[in-house]
A = this chain, B = another copy of it.
Amino acid sequence: MGSLSALFAPESVAVVGATDREGSVGRAILTNLRDDFEGRIVPVNPSRESVLGFDCYPDVSSVPDGPPDLAVIVVPPHVAVDAVEEAGEAGVENVVVITAGFSETGSEGAARERELVDVAETYDMALVGPNSLGVMSTPVGMNATFGPENAQDGSLSFMSQSGAFITAVLDWANDQDIGFKDVVSLGNEAVVDETDLIEHWGDDPDTDVIIGYLEGIDDGQEFIRTAREVTDDTPIVLVKSGRTDAGAQAASSHTGSIAGSDEAYEAGLEQAGVQRVETVQELFDYARALSGQPLPDRDDVAVVTNAGGPGVMATDAIGDSSLSLASFSDDTIDALQESLPDEANVYNPVDVIGDADIDRFRAAIDTALSDDGVGAAVVVSAPTAVLGFDELADAVVDLQAKHDKPVVACLMGGESTESAADRLREGGIPNYFDPARGVRSLDALSGYREVRDGSVDEPAQFDVDRERAREILTRAEDRGDNRLGVEAMDLLDAYGIPTPAGDVVDSPEDAVAVAHEVDGPVVMKIVSPDILHKSDIGGVKVGVENEDVYDAFEDLVTRARNYQPDADILGVQVQEMVDLDDGTETIVGMNRDPQFGPLVLFGLGGIFVEVIEDTTVRVAPLGRDEAEAMVDDIDAAPLLRGARGRTPADEDAIVETIQRLSQLVTDFPAILELDINPLVAGPDGVQAVDIRLTVDTEEL
């Protein structure tokens, strides 16, 4: 599949299945194209001579002057694959399949969709759909959809896995004067998917912001890689629905996608630099701010208002956000004191009070934006007799341009704000009734600045013993059991994750030998995949002195045999005692998500924290900065850092362990799940005390 450029800027579009029958999809598309499309429109239908005044051709190959740049397929499902093949043979490189009746309808449809994919691959075609509403591109006036509304010109490019969502959004957006560059109804995504589109739009100079409605992402790892590059230049804002269990089930029944965990989406989208929102309102609030306003240099916000109460609401919203209320410089305070009456508040939030005219209001905004400690401003105004919203809007537009800092307006009123809102829109300034929405828009800008300025560390490649790791994993295969326990502690050793001294042994003599190599008394545990609750059967002995090790071995094995005669006993683990007084129990784990692959988890251990679920996840492979961020994420992180009089743990060692685990699970897709619990983090490093993992032996 080549570039998608011709998909969005074709010089000619064929509509295969074009007809003038009232109410038909073919007629709707042709009519929509006729409205504004700058290029050539070519109906294809063997049973017509002309359709809606356009010359009609029996097949794509008979279209004169070479193949059309784009073919839109609206023929019934049983002939749709043939139609695409004909187009491919004729040399068409871009196809939009409107026709439904593919994988969304069951096994017959799924088979048909596989044929479609084969054909597209054979002819190297970019294919959108099937089961798509179509595509739009405003620079060439192309509306190749059967929806009731065309998009207005703009700089947002918009993709959706729900066609109805596009119809609804365009109906609304046209009233709000929100414009688009391209609009794509993704349909079943047999070929072109969300990753292809963001990659294309990332290179598109006419797309300022990429927005989308998604219910699933097919290949999470590829999406992250692509989006990370795209978001260096172009912000991406997405609604990913199916967030909740009920929603995920509904999404799965709607699009047939297998639901990955929302935890994985949340982590993956953040790692990809995507800003995730939950509602249509947020989607467009974010998009509007990102397309119209510069990014703030700093997160300190000035509030300038003529209404005390709404000023407090704006301040609350700043407190809720990642932004902060700016502290003004002495010069700013002096200047405000000079220009404002005594009853005004010259500290942030600035209250110019209700009798402020435009000059007083303008001066205050100007002064606030002049302060080097101010990164952005929110201007809040209630209606008053002495101030016109229009003149305030003009002042805000001017002052934003003068200072080149982001500004949002909250003109609090109804119809009385309309012409002012138009002026603000033309000046690129978002305007909302609710101060909280204004503040969240600034927060979106700040969030994108973090994405754009942040660099992502490449995953470190530690010097590890991969072959030894493979051998250890293979033991599961030899044993016919895909679960491994402490007998696989060496796996961690092979990847440089520290473990206490010790070994798994199968004789009392070996137990004694190992115990002698270890300083001080040892912990001894029965090792068996069949005995889950070792403590309950007396299968664990703590603080065993060297002279007692022999008897302890025999006792442990006897107890295990008595408890469960058919248990597969792999031996006894003899392990150095780990000092828990100075250490904090943590957990490092991993499971595999169907979309995003390996998901690494970090959290503090101990039952309290486990019940409270104070954990965080990231998609692997991950770099040092991401591993560090995982430690930061934990609410109980202060305990690792010496809160409550504790000895600070060796945080570097934790971070390195997370990275090494990331490398391990990336190197071995066969590892389905893995838990190191606890990983004891002390002042002088970490020790992985216990491990459990599940292996897919067929992947080895």
Mask of A635-676 contacts with B, CB within 8 angstroms, 1/0: 110110001101000000000000000000000000000000
Mask of A316-355 contacts with B, CB within 8 angstroms, 1/0: 1011100011000000000000000001010101010010
Min Cβ gap A250→B in Å is 4
Pairwise interchain contact A349-B279, C-beta atoms closer than 8 A = no
Tell me the A303-326 residues at the B interface (CB within 8 Å). Answer: 306-313, 315-316, 318-320, 324-325
Pairwise interchain contact B414-A173, C-beta atoms closer than 8 A = yes
Tell me the A222-249 residues at the B interface (CB within 8 Å). Answer: 239, 241-247, 249
Pairwise interchain contact B308-A164, C-beta atoms closer than 8 A = yes
The answer to the question of A413 belonging to the interface, with a C-beta cut-off of 8 Å to chain B, is yes
Across the interface, A171 reaches (CB within 8 A) one of B28, B215, B383, namely B383
Number of copies: 2
Pairwise interchain contact B315-A244, C-beta atoms closer than 8 A = yes
Question: CA separation between A343 and B604, bound complex, in Å?
Answer: 48
Across the interface, A162 reaches (CB within 8 A) one of B308, B343, B385, B643, namely B308
Residues of B within 8 A of A308 (CB): 162, 164, 254-255
Most buried by B among A163, A245, A345, A414: A414
The answer to the question of A19 belonging to the interface, with a C-beta cut-off of 8 Å to chain B, is no
The answer to the question of A582 belonging to the interface, with a C-beta cut-off of 8 Å to chain B, is no
Question: CA separation between A433 and B175, bound complex, in Å?
Answer: 13
Tell me the A393-417 residues at the B interface (CB within 8 Å). Answer: 412-417
Pairwise interchain contact A244-B643, C-beta atoms closer than 8 A = no
Instruction: Give the nearest-CB partner of A178 in chain B.
Output: B414
Across the interface, A644 reaches (CB within 8 A) one of B324, B415, B611, namely B611
The answer to the question of A280 belonging to the interface, with a C-beta cut-off of 8 Å to chain B, is yes
Residues of B within 8 A of A448 (CB): none
Min Cβ gap A130→B in Å is 14
Pairwise interchain contact A164-B307, C-beta atoms closer than 8 A = yes
A382 and B168 in contact, given A243-B319, A607-B639 (Cβ under 8 angstroms): yes
Pairwise interchain contact B307-A347, C-beta atoms closer than 8 A = no
Residues of B within 8 A of A383 (CB): 148-149, 167-168, 171
Across the interface, A168 reaches (CB within 8 A) one of B215, B280, B307, namely B307
Mask of A236-274 contacts with B, CB within 8 angstroms, 1/0: 000101111111011101110000000000000000000
Residues of B within 8 A of A169 (CB): 412
Most buried by B among A28, A246, A309, A611: A309
The answer to the question of A160 belonging to the interface, with a C-beta cut-off of 8 Å to chain B, is yes
The answer to the question of A176 belonging to the interface, with a C-beta cut-off of 8 Å to chain B, is yes
Residues of B within 8 A of A384 (CB): 148, 164, 167
The answer to the question of A64 belonging to the interface, with a C-beta cut-off of 8 Å to chain B, is no
Residues of B within 8 A of A255 (CB): 308
Question: CA separation between A165 and B384, bound complex, in Å?
Answer: 11
Min Cβ gap A24→B in Å is 11
Min Cβ gap A155→B in Å is 20
Instruction: Give the nearest-CB partner of A173 in chain B.
Output: B414
The answer to the question of A461 belonging to the interface, with a C-beta cut-off of 8 Å to chain B, is no
Question: CA separation between A382 and B213, bound complex, in Å?
Answer: 15
Instruction: Give the nearest-CB partner of A385 in chain B.
Output: B148
Pairwise interchain contact A612-B614, C-beta atoms closer than 8 A = yes
Residues of B within 8 A of A639 (CB): 607-608, 611
Question: CA separation between A306 and B437, bound complex, in Å?
Answer: 29
Mask of A267-302 contacts with B, CB within 8 angstroms, 1/0: 000000000001111000000000000000000000
A608 and B611 in contact, given A168-B413, A280-B434, A383-B148 (Cβ under 8 angstroms): no
Residues of B within 8 A of A280 (CB): 433-434
Pairwise interchain contact A608-B609, C-beta atoms closer than 8 A = yes
The answer to the question of A565 belonging to the interface, with a C-beta cut-off of 8 Å to chain B, is no
Pairwise interchain contact A250-B414, C-beta atoms closer than 8 A = no
Residues of B within 8 A of A171 (CB): 383, 412-414, 416-417
Residues of B within 8 A of A646 (CB): 607
The answer to the question of A161 belonging to the interface, with a C-beta cut-off of 8 Å to chain B, is yes
Min Cβ gap A35→B in Å is 16
Q: Enumerate the 5 nearest inter-chain pairs by beta-carbon distance, A residue then B residue, closest first.
A: A162-B309, A244-B319, A164-B307, A175-B414, A168-B412
Ordered by A's residue number, 16 sampled pairs between the chains whose C-beta atoms are within 8 Å are: A164-B310, A165-B310, A165-B382, A168-B307, A171-B416, A213-B309, A246-B316, A247-B315, A254-B312, A279-B434, A604-B608, A607-B639, A607-B644, A609-B612, A611-B639, A612-B612
